[in-house]
Amino acid sequence: MIEINNTFINGGFVEKNNRSKFELINPATEKQYGELLCSSEDEVEHAINCASEAEIICSNLSIEDKKNILSQILDGISYRREELGEVISLEMGAPISLAKNAHIQMGIDHLTNTLNVLSSYKFETKENGFQIFKSPIGVVALITPWNWPLNQTLTKIASAIGAGCPIIIKPSEFCALSSRILAEIISESDLPDGAFNMVNGIGSNLGPIISQHKKIDMISFTGSTEVGISIQTLAAKTVKRVSLELGGKSAHIICDDVELLDAIPKAINQCFINSGQSCSAPTRLLIPKDKLNEVKKIAISHTKNIKTGNPLNENTNLGPVINSKQYKNIQSHIQSGIEDSLELIIGGIGRPDEHEKGYYVKPTIFLDVPNNHSLAQEEIFGPVLTVITYKDLDEAIDIANDSKYGLSSYISSNNEKTAYEIAKRIKAGQTIINKPSRGSVPAPFGGFKMSGNGREHGIYGLEDYLEVKAII
Ligand code: NAP
Ligand code: MG
């Protein structure tokens, strides 16, 4: 049984007896493979104090220093790429090819992207009658989930280091192994002691200490809207900056001029990748009403061939979902669609037949769902696609916008001008046009409405961690 200690404070891992333990379960087998030794509340306090003491040294790092540190971290991730892919596949069930390629690559891309930004970013500018100095906001707390672990941790870490902010990070305990490797890699860089601290443990215990702490100047959180609201509420007492990247229920508008045989399989894959556990997944597929039967046939024949199975098998398309809580939650969403007599065209409740164990969910599609049903409104976070029909593009845009969320959106169209005009009318932080993947790495990422505030990645991500000072 592996024991993992992810309490890293002031440049070293902290050994301590009698820590509370968190069982690490392999989602593909439901067997325990290890234990996370949780950080105590005192250790969180200590980590925050150490970060606070490192504030001046971090703010004095030159651009060259910061680029050097980010390059060292980038080299470390690249060097341990295979191992990181294997542990991410084990801990959150991502198919090994997805883990090694997409998961690790996204982390690498964020580091590279911030390095590029730092090469030309002007922290000091002269304006008409005054000067602007962009200074680091101070101590930042980063709280991240399990669904794209390295993507989420590294985009925040790269921006915080680029800005010159000391960090205290609480990654998800479901990703203890990859978080340990990340801390090891960062500890080998030239980042000063105290500039990077990691605590790991149950969010509802550690989170409130972080959210209310006077010495934390900013919190960057990725996760559920519910937890985001609780962080922001507690953080209000100290008027700290809170950057939230929350849930989504993104619409994908299929225009009537596209080749459905090409567009529908791509749209389904985009929704189901990572077993549907992506905040920006296009989970509402909006199609012209008169194409319903054609879409139904294509969707069934494509989805039948999606292989759900052992994440270590190179041919697996979908692994299990993260844990039993998420599995049950997804099942109850599917059940509600069945109880309300929605048209289930493939999938349904229970595991795929070939699995007796593991949090495997059948790739599931409901057809012609009213947009006010919970299947069209709630974030399910599993491989469940909701197909909705529209009569014209104005109605499609209304449906896309009829959501409490506004993280991403997607358009498939053969007319670039029309797609661009639709994009401008959708209330979401991104609109991805005719791309089968995640879009662009340097592009800002973040939500409208209850999908959050603030922007991550590249220059916008860096600026989230900076204060604007006017010198007159
Ligand atoms: P979550 O509860 O929002 O967890 C995200 C992170 O916040 C984890 O590190 C979590 O730690 C921590 N946390 C929990 N309670 C906290 C608190 N009171 N204060 C500060 N931090 C706290 O998400 P989840 O439970 O893993 O997943 C639940 C649902 O959230 C999913 O079904 C999905 O809809 C949504 N979700 C969205 C995203 C996204 O990228 N937008 C990512 C993950 C999940 P613990 O793990 O210890 O709770
Ligand atoms: Mg939670």
Query: What is the structure's pLDDT at 187?
Result: 98
Q: With cut-offs at 50, 70 and 90, classify the pLDDT of residue 439.
A: confident
As a whole number of angstroms, the distance between CA 272 and CA 174 comes to 21
Q: With cut-offs at 50, 70 and 90, classify the pLDDT of residue 1.
A: confident
Q: Is the CB of 227 under 6 A from ligand 1?
A: yes
Average pLDDT over the chain, rounded to an integer: 97
As a whole number of angstroms, the distance between CA 366 and CA 386 comes to 5
**Mean pLDDT, range 376-399, rounded to an integer:** 98
Q: Is the CB of 454 under 6 A from ligand 1?
A: no
As a whole number of angstroms, the distance between CA 113 and CA 44 comes to 30
Phi/psi for 387 (5° steps) reads -95, 130
The helices-and-strands tally (H runs, E runs) of the chain is: 17, 22
Identity of the amino acid at 162: G
Q: With cut-offs at 50, 70 and 90, classify the pLDDT of residue 373.
A: very high
Nearest CA to ligand 1 atom 19: 207
Query: What is the structure's pLDDT at 363?
Result: 98
Pocket test for ligand 1, best of 227, 330, 384 (most atoms within 8 A of CB): 227
Is 167 strand, coil or helix? strand
As a whole number of angstroms, the distance between CA 264 and CA 247 comes to 24
Active site residues: 245, 279
Query: What is the structure's pLDDT at 247?
Result: 95
| Helix residue ranges per DSSP H, 260-323 | 260-272, 292-303
Is 135 strand, coil or helix? strand
As a whole number of angstroms, the distance between CA 135 and CA 55 comes to 12
Is residue 440 scored above 90 in pLDDT?
no
Is residue 328 scored above 80 in pLDDT?
yes
Is 387 strand, coil or helix? strand
Q: With cut-offs at 50, 70 and 90, classify the pLDDT of residue 183.
A: very high
- Given the structure tokens 């993280």, which residue do they identify? 407
| Helix residue ranges per DSSP H, 236-354 | 260-272, 292-303, 324-339
As a whole number of angstroms, the distance between CA 472 and CA 427 comes to 38
Q: Is the CB of 172 under 6 A from ligand 1?
A: yes
Query: What is the structure's pLDDT at 318?
Result: 98
| Helix residue ranges per DSSP H, 218-310 | 225-235, 260-272, 292-303
Give me the DSSP letters along 81-100: HHHHHHHHHHHH---HHHII
Question: For a pLDDT cut of 70, what percent of the chain falls above it?
Answer: 100
- Given the structure tokens 């509340």, which residue do they identify? 41
Q: Ligand 1 centroid vs 145 CA: distance in angstroms?
A: 6
Asked whether 286 and 263 are in contact (CB, 8 A), the reply is no
Query: What is the structure's pLDDT at 443?
Result: 94
Nearest CA to ligand 1 atom 46: 172
Query: What is the structure's pLDDT at 436?
Result: 76
**Mean pLDDT, range 356-366, rounded to an integer:** 98
As a whole number of angstroms, the distance between CA 152 and CA 201 comes to 17
Q: Is the CB of 207 under 6 A from ligand 1?
A: yes
As a whole number of angstroms, the distance between CA 86 and CA 205 comes to 29
| pTM as predicted | 0.97
> Can you read off the two tokens belonging to residue 60?
């004095």
**Would the CA dihedral through 226, 228, 230, 232 be positive or negative?**
negative
Q: With cut-offs at 50, 70 and 90, classify the pLDDT of residue 438.
A: confident
Q: Is the CB of 381 under 6 A from ligand 1?
A: yes
Q: Between vectors from CA 291 to CA 265 and to CA 253, what angle results, nearest 5°?
A: 60
Identity of the amino acid at 79: Y
Strand 343-346 relative to strand 364-367, pairing: antiparallel
The ligand whose atoms approach the alpha carbon of 222 most closely is 1
Query: What is the structure's pLDDT at 115?
Result: 98
Encode pLDDT of 121-179 as tens digits.
999 999 999 999 999 999 999 999 999 999 999 999 999 999 999 999 999 999 999 99
Encode pLDDT of 258-276 as tens digits.
999 999 999 999 999 999 9
Q: With cut-offs at 50, 70 and 90, classify the pLDDT of residue 28.
A: very high
**Mean pLDDT, range 4-30, rounded to an integer:** 97
Query: What is the structure's pLDDT at 437?
Result: 72
**Mean pLDDT, range 287-297, rounded to an integer:** 98
Is residue 191 scored above 80 in pLDDT?
yes
